[in-house]
Amino acid sequence: MKISHKNRKIGYTYGSTSGKFMFRNKKIILFESLLEKSFLQVLEFNDMVLDVVEQPFTIETQTTKGNKGSYTPDFLIYFKEPELRTTNPIKPIVAEVKPSKKLIQNRIELKQKFKSAIKFCNEQEFRFKIFNENRIRSTEVDNIVFLNRYKDYKPDQSKIASATVSLFK
């Protein structure tokens, strides 16, 4: 199995929303769907996540007909070392983000790609995980999205001062 680090480019996608996500005000991560964007928001909120790389590499695979194929996972996620040295380090996760509907519709084709990904991850000491809307979208995510709106909010200092003065009159 060959691994190519020439990851595919994320551009305009027909039928879904692609864009740029500012991860922790440090780097831009490209996404290809709103589900991927929600996933990035969850990762940003998780203090154990150290870094996220979009479309980190391409793995050569075989199709169900025996032809050459390729698979590019959505994200590679690195984690901070656990504070307690008695626990094992958290292995990076190679993540595929797909709606359940597409996982079911394309299950035969995806099965081959995921088998290659699992083999690659085992060789690299990564973990391979598939995330669908059931694992990503939740009340927790709704709360994260709501709070993210205010992460860069800077209140008007004059209004704060006048509100504080009137509060104690």
Domains delineated in the chain: 3-167 (3.40.1350.10)
Tens digits of per-residue pLDDT, 102-143? 999 999 999 999 999 999 999 999 999 999 999 888 888 888
Rounding to the nearest 10 degrees, give the CA dihedral for residues 29, 32, 36, 37.
60
Q: What is the pLDDT of residues 48-88, one digit of tens each?
A: 999 999 999 999 998 878 889 999 999 999 999 877 766 67
* pLDDT tens-place string over residues 27-49: 999 999 999 999 999 999 899 99
Please state, in angstroms and rounded to a whole number, the distance separating the CA atoms of residues 36 and 111: 20
Instruction: Give the model's pLDDT for residue 163.
Output: 61
Question: ∠ CA 14-61-53 to the nearest 5 degrees?
Answer: 60
Structural contact between residues 4 and 58, judged by C-beta atoms closer than 8 angstroms: yes
> Does this model's pTM top 0.85?
no
Distance in angstroms (rounded) separating the CA atoms of residues 45 and 60: 33
